[in-house]
Every structure is written in structure tokens, then in C-alpha cells.
Amino acid sequence: MATIKDIADLASVSKTTVSRVLNFDQTLSVSDETKKRIFEAAEKLEYTKYKRNRVIDKGKIAIVQWMTEKDELDDVYYLSLRMSAEKKILDEGYEIVRYFYNDTRIFDEEVIGIISIGECTPEQQQSLIDFTDNLVFVGMDILSTKYDSVSLDFDQAVNSVIDFFCARGHKNIGFIGGLDYGKTLPNHPVGKDKRTIAFEKYTSLRDVYREENVFQSSFDVESGYEMMKQAIVTLGQQLPTAFFIANDPLAVGALRALLESGIKVPERVSLIGFNDTSVAKHIFPTLSSVRIHTELMGEASVELLLEKLETGRQVAKKLIIATELSLRGSTGD
């Protein structure tokens, strides 16, 4: 059986770092790349901390991740959701069956419940519903179809950003984000992401919305760089004094574009990202960001499922997990 030392050796880090990462220690300051190496090593070695000295006989719970395994390893947000859910499942004495987007989903007949992580199409939802009513959807609001869900409060998150900027006297506020279409939803139409919709809503309520300040493309570093360069060129002296940026990779690219153009952060432009990944603490200036409690989301999804299994509850529940602002150098904090 693999040990923490085995993972540390494979990932080329200390045993302490492995232990803190696998226990979702939020005070640990390590890069996303280091976290990925540790998670990959744990997966490769089939490490399961809570299987040791524990008899697992309560049944199997499936985790369906609506992306490929490779895509998941590129995104610590989804990795953290799954691994925190798995940790809780094993701690409660259940076995895990794992499925990714590109797997053939023929569920083991011993599966008694499913945790679905990420956005999926109505057809994909139905494929899970056809198998069992014991379902929890993570990252989707599925209450309308009478199934449990755990999701973020995007309105609260974005409203807190706009409140912060307005309290600092910013009236010209920009937005850089991605379009709502994904690798997992190839036929899903391109549209506005939830953060874009919330940004438009709350800046409009404060009478500071300007259509020309909204830029959308893909959710990656290079897109953030290109969109900020476009904003600098097209807006000139009217460049916003503050930007809300829909994820941290976009913010990293946007920050690089500003610094290359000689635009000081936060003196001329303040930035707030989203997700509060570890990269936010390791760039200069450090990045203010909206922190998502992925470990709490993963644990809460399992708690909902176990409650339903144990009580037979028929009424659906929706848990909305709040976010919080982590303020750093990019806003002068």
C-alpha cells in the first residue's frame, strides 16, 4: 500500500507538503503545479489515506467528473472538488467508483449513489437519473428537476467585488472573462458565463456599467493577456481604473499586459481575479481574488447524498456555498 513517503518521493516534495495538500490545508502556500504533481502521484500510486485499518462494506458511491482525466489534472478547482468528496466518502466507510467524461458509463450495479461534478447537458443528467434517484450535482443548480445540488453563490461573489471597487471610489470598472461553452459540452451554445451576467447586473444597479468595458474570450492566460492588450489599445485614456477578471489564469495574463505597457498595478489599475488559486500568492504584485471553498463543496455534496441514503428524504435540497474576497497587492491591500 502506498504511503505519504512514496508520494513525496514521486512528486519530489516533502512528506509534510504531501500531507498538507491532501488534507486541503488552506494555509499552505504552494503552486498549483506542485499540487498537481502531488495529486497525480497519489492517483498513480492509488493512495487512499482512509482505507487503512478500515473495513469498507457500506456500498459504492460513484463520482462522475464531466471532463477528461487529463483536463481535470489541468484544473485544480475540479481536482480539489473530487478529492475532497472522495476523502469524505472513504472516511464514512463507502467505496468509490470513478468515472470521467470519456469513460464508458456502465454503472456498477452495486453503486448506491452518484456525485456529479461539473456542468453537463440535460441528456447527460438524464443518464444519471435513469440509474438512480440518489444524486447530488456539484457546480450546477439542478433544483428545478428536484435533485440535490451544491453550487457557488456567483451573485454574492461578484456583488462583493463591485461593492469593494465602488467603496474605493472606482466608477469606471472593466470585466475580462470567458464565454460559456466547454470541452464537456461540445453542442452547448456559446453564451454569457454566470460571472459576466452578474457583473452586468450589479454594475448596472450602481449605474457604472459600460458595454465597451466588457471583454470575453477563453478562460486561459493568453486570452487574458490579449483581452487586456485590446482594452489598452481601444479604450486608451478611458481604460477602467479597476477590472474584475473571471479567473486567476486570465488575471495573470491581464497583469502581464498591463505591466508590459507600463501601466502600474494597483496605482493606475486595480485587479481582482476569481478562484484564489495558489498562483495568486506567487505573482507580483500578488493578486486579490475571490476565494472558493472547494473542500467544503466536496464534503457538503457527500453529506447531502448520505442524508438522502440514510433517511429516504424525497424533497430536494440546494446548498449554496458563499465565497470571500482575499485582498492582496493588486488592489493595494
Q: Which fold has domain 154-291+326-331?
A: Rossmann fold (3.40.50)
pLDDT of the residue at 49: 53
**Strands (DSSP E) along the chain, which ranges?**
60-65, 95-100, 111-117, 135-138, 148-152, 173-178, 214-217, 242-245, 270-275, 288-291, 318-321, 324-326
- Same CATH topology for 60-151+293-320 and 154-291+326-331: the answer is yes
Give me the residue spans of the domains in the chain.
Answer: 4-45, 60-151+293-320, 154-291+326-331
For residue 240, whether the previous peptide bond is cis, meaning omega lies within 30 degrees of 0, is no
Mean pLDDT is lowest, of 12-26, 56-70, 222-236, for 12-26
The residue among 104 and 201 whose pLDDT is bigger is 201
Q: Model confidence at 119, in pLDDT bands (50, 70, 90)?
A: confident
Q: Which CATH number fits domain 60-151+293-320: 2.70.150.10, 3.20.20.70, 3.40.50.2300, 3.90.1150.10?
A: 3.40.50.2300
Q: Is 29 exposed, middle or buried (0-12, 13-18, 19+ CB in 10 A)?
A: exposed
Q: C-alpha distances in angstroms, 193 versus 129, 153, 178?
A: 26, 14, 7
Residue pair 254/228 in contact by the 8 Å Cβ criterion:
yes
**Closest to 89 in 3D by CA, of 306, 292, 295:** 306
The residue among 160 and 30 whose pLDDT is bigger is 160
pLDDT reading at 184 higher than 60: no
pLDDT reading at 50 higher than 50: no
pLDDT of the residue at 185: 47
Q: What is the 3-state secondary structure (H, E, C) of 223-274?
A: HHHHHHHHHHHHHHHHCCCEEEECCHHHHHHHHHHHHHCCCCCCCCCEEEEE
pLDDT of the residue at 108: 80
pLDDT of the residue at 54: 44
Residue pair 301/86 in contact by the 8 Å Cβ criterion:
no
Average pLDDT for the chain: 86
Q: Model confidence at 140, in pLDDT bands (50, 70, 90)?
A: confident
Q: Which three cell numbers stand for residue 90?
A: 472513504
pLDDT reading at 48 higher than 60: no
Residue pair 11/32 in contact by the 8 Å Cβ criterion:
no
Mean pLDDT is lowest, of 7-11, 58-62, 186-190, for 186-190
C-alpha span between 177 and 196 (Å, rounded): 7
